Amino acid sequence: MNKKKLNTLAKQLSLSPKGILAADESTKTITKRFESIDLESTFENRRKYRELLFKTEGLEKFISGIILYDETINQKTSDGQLFPEYLIKKGISPGIKVDTGAIQINQNSSEKITEGLDGLNVRLKKYKELGAEFTKWRAIIEIGDSLPSDYCIEYNAYLLGRYAKIVQQHDLVPIVEPEVLMDGDHTIQECFDVTAKTLKLVFDNLNYHNVFMGGILLKPNMILSGKKCKNQATIETVASMTIKCLNENVPSDVPGIVFLSGGQSNEVATQHLNEMNLKFNNLPWNLSFSYGRALQQPSILSWKGSDSNTTTSQKKLIKRSELNSQATMGDYRIESENASL
Ligand code: 13P
């Protein structure tokens, strides 16, 4: 394992003023997104949409890396360049989602276990040849009546540890993503407690698997009130409880923390990140974003599958990328949302 290489890349990917764009929706998920604009999810429409995102002019000023999906990493621009090749030339690091999705733990439970270790070594070799420099694996933890179970957290944490170890052996940076979902009516304190327990077990398992902490990125949820909770915490409370949870559970030698947006509105996801970077200085890790929905949503809605909307859609992506870039420096102002576009 080339520790220096992993550490340099992990720092670079999470270093302000840049963050990561998650464009690794599975075919099932992107099909759902396309349904919202009444567009058929064909191989070519998916390619076209990803090309629109990647070819956005100036994206590299705000975006350090883009996470791709298995289909996407094998697709090409309209002028015949493989997407990862195109991104590298543009100064953006290509990453790849390597888990193969989550399945129910058992028939009577909504809890899920993420799969993807089978054949991982072979896939990593192929992805590396295609140009991938980092990877992602997402585990899902649900809060509900007597959930999450210890089994769900422990088994997912174990798999994240093994995944990260294998990935580092290929000199790729693993993004470790344990997502505690915001669905439900739980309080912010419950989210704090479940996230703290999850992070503790994740780092126990990363250590158990002898993962090099200086060569990973953590992609956690923020500490939020459940979507249906009557008492929605303020921006300030979310920021301070998130930082408290991370300070207590994330080793200081982890180079960067890149949040997922997880169903927050675009503006709120930006406000939360901004508040953390504004109020908390001298944190041991870089604090940035790795958003999917909160970066792409305005683009996809304005694209509607039509070439005539490509420029408008790209402007929407640049706007969200720039505003989140400002949030990595604590420089975002809500008034900027009303600026043109
Ligand atoms: P969201 O920002 O839409 O939560 O997606 C990030 C991601 O990559 C989930 O795995």
Taking the centre of ligand 1 as the mean of its atom positions, its distance from the CA of residue 67, in whole angstroms, is: 10
What spacing in Å lies between the alpha carbon of 319 and ligand 1's midpoint?
18
Q: Is 261 in the pocket of ligand 1 (CB under 6 A)?
A: yes
Q: Kindly report the pTM of this predicted structure.
A: 0.98
Active site residue 129: no
Q: Which is nearest to 230 in space by CA: 261, 188, 266? A: 188
Q: What are phi and psi of 103, to 5 degrees?
A: -120, 160
DSSP track, 255-320: -EEEE--TT--HHHHHHHHHHHHHH--S-SSEEEEEESHHHHHHHHHHHTT-GGGHHHHHHHHHHH
Is ligand 1 within 6 A of the CB of residue 66? no
Measured from the CA of 262, which atom of ligand 1 is nearest? 4
**pLDDT digits over 293-323, tens only?**
999 999 999 999 999 999 999 999 999 999 9
Ligand 1 center to residue 137 CA distance, Å? Answer: 11
Residue to probe by mutation, ligand 1, list 72, 259, 261, 320, most atoms within 8 Å of CB: 261
With a 6 Å cutoff on the Cβ, whether 260 touches ligand 1 is: yes
Please give the Cα distance from 295 to 173 (Å, whole number): 22
Could you read off the pLDDT tens digit of each residue along the chain, which spans 341 residues? 999 999 999 999 999 999 999 999 999 999 999 999 999 999 999 999 999 999 999 999 999 999 999 999 999 999 999 999 999 999 999 999 999 999 999 999 999 999 999 999 999 999 999 999 999 999 999 999 999 999 999 999 999 999 999 999 999 999 999 999 999 999 999 999 999 999 999 999 999 999 999 999 999 999 999 999 999 999 999 999 999 999 999 999 999 999 999 999 999 999 999 999 999 999 999 999 999 999 999 999 999 999 999 999 999 999 999 999 999 999 999 999 998 65
Active-site annotation holds for 177? yes
- CA 219–ligand 1 middle distance (angstroms): 9
* Contact criterion met (CB below 8 Å) for 104 and 145: no
Quote the CA–CA distance of 6 and 118 in Å, as a whole number: 24
Q: For 157-198, how does the pLDDT look when each residue is reduced to its tens digit (9 = 90+)? A: 999 999 999 999 999 999 999 999 999 999 999 999 999 999
- The catalytically annotated residue of 25, 177, 179, 322 is 177
Q: Give me 141's structure tokens.
A: 């933890």
Catalytic residue among 165, 197, 219, 316: 219
